[in-house]
């Protein structure tokens, strides 16, 4: 008889645990259903219309990268050497910006210079490159971006678009 009581108590506790998990899943599904119509969660982007703060960095080719760098519409790609998604999006970004003048494309690679070598190799023909430690001048000017993230910045160093994918970038026009 004690075994039967033990089994009944165990089954009761297992059912209570299952009920708690089910209620947690239902709550998460309700939160998910309340997401914006685009179905995209909010990402910590610098919103369009935001002017970039003052910053100073030096590109790998020696070009000074400041707010003055944005003398015309510029595509900016932010990548991290520790981000698997960045490695996946790298070829798509390089191909998307290939028709654009490299002076109008800025790629910022956050991380160690040695680990950034695959990014440098892929992007050096199509972009001005900045490799910087975590949360340094250029990526810091964009706040706390998700990686990878993509921006279009106008000639006044004002963000005009914040994007998750290179495919969302405006159709490239030759400069």
What pLDDT does residue 37 have? 55
**Domain match, 62 and 28 both:** no
**Domain match, 155 and 73 both:** yes
For residue 57, the SS3 value is strand
> What does the mean pLDDT of the chain come to?
85
Domain holding 102: CATH number? 3.40.30.10
What is the per-residue pLDDT across 64-122, written as a single tens digit (0 to 9) for each?
999 999 988 999 999 999 989 999 999 999 999 988 887 889 999 998 888 999 999 99
The answer as to whether 154 is a domain residue is yes
Q: Where are the beta strands (DSSP E) in 14-172?
A: 57-58, 64-65, 74-80, 105-110, 128-132, 149-153, 159-163
Cis peptide before 148 (omega within 30 of 0): yes
The answer on pLDDT for 137 being more than 70 is: yes
The answer as to whether 50 is a domain residue is no
* Six-digit token string for 96: 């998307």
**Domain match, 22 and 63 both:** no
**Domain match, 78 and 24 both:** no
The answer as to whether 128 is a domain residue is yes
**CA distance readout (Å), 124 to 66, 92, 115:** 19, 14, 15
Domain region containing 114:
57-168
- Please indicate, yes or no, whether the overall pTM of this predicted structure exceeds 0.75: no
| Across 26-35, 37-46, 95-104, least confident range | 37-46
| Across 53-62, 89-98, 130-139, 165-174, least confident range | 165-174
**Domain match, 72 and 24 both:** no
What pLDDT does residue 38 have? 54
- Tally of domains within the chain: 2
**Domain match, 4 and 80 both:** no
């Amino acid at each position: 008889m004690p075994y039967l009581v033990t089994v009944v108590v165990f089954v009761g506790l297992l059912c209570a645990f299952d009920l708690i998990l089910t209620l947690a899943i239902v709550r998460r599904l309700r939160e998910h259903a309340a997401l914006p119509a685009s179905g995209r969660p909010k990402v910590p982007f610098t919103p369009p219309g935001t002017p970039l703060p003052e910053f100073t960095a030096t590109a790998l080719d020696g070009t000074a990268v400041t707010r003055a760098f944005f003398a015309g519409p510029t595509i900016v790609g932010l990548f991290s050497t520790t981000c698997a998604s960045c490695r996946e999006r790298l070829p798509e970004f390089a191909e998307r910006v290939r028709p654009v003048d490299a002076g109008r494309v800025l790629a910022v690679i956050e991380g160690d210079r040695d680990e950034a070598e695959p990014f440098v190799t892929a992007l050096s023909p199509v972009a001005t490159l900045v490799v910087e430690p975590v949360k340094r001048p250029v990526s810091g000017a964009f706040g706390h971006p998700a990686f990878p993230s993509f921006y279009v910045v106008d000639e006044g160093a004002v963000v005009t678009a914040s994007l998750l994918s290179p495919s969302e970038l405006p159709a490239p026009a030759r400069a």
